[in-house]
Structure 1
């Protein structure tokens, strides 16, 4: 360096790697807030678009849910946080008249073939993505059995399971 000056490195500055805020460690708290806000923002945009019921659910499943799925296994999500995101989704759907306040919550998540609406649960999506990543390269007998029997394979997202 000219004049004997050293390069200043600020340890407190975070950087993004593949969209994940990092320093020497992953900043779970900040990242959870950013991802949650982005997910809720996308759900709001879909619900404001005034699509019909089936297309609204498809749009949420294909545009909003992947924001959460991408962070599965990287961020330490708690059960309570994931349930809270599901609850916020249902509240927004009720606010935008996409879900009746007295309708059955379980029916919302059932496949269309069984009379449901096929909305993907945030909680289950994160769980399946984590298990998919564990099973993909595992040599443990129990995880290989789960992979072989396809126990956690979602009928709606077969491609997501293969790419997990």
Structure 2
């Protein structure tokens, strides 16, 4: 399984006020395809450098309010060969999109302050919960999305 390709297809994820993207990429000169730089740390985990941006929106103008980059574990070594990893990536991306969407709804209805400082105080590492692979129950993308958003220790903290 090409983990880099499976992961890269889900980024960037963005909304009007937030974006999450791969900070480092390489381009295959022959094919012209962009792939993430997915490295292996000392423990054998798959790691990628991710950028989290918070945007200031004023009408049609958008400017960067804050940017943070950090190496994050995408897949722990113990789960490299887990056949559920592509479903996990898809479910994780859906969870982030859901959280961004709900935060945008709150901002539209009640103003930026109502969304709180959750994401502004977060670092890219906080946007990932690969420990959900330790659970046996999630098998599909939808089950991973539910497992990620239903627990505040995973990604549920993002929800308004």
The TM-score normalised by the length of structure 1 is: 0.28
Between Structure 1 and Structure 2, the one with more strand by share is 2
Name the larger-Rg structure.
1
Greater RCO, 1 or 2 (C-alpha within 8 Å, sep 6+):
2
Q: TM-score, normalised by structure 2?
A: 0.28
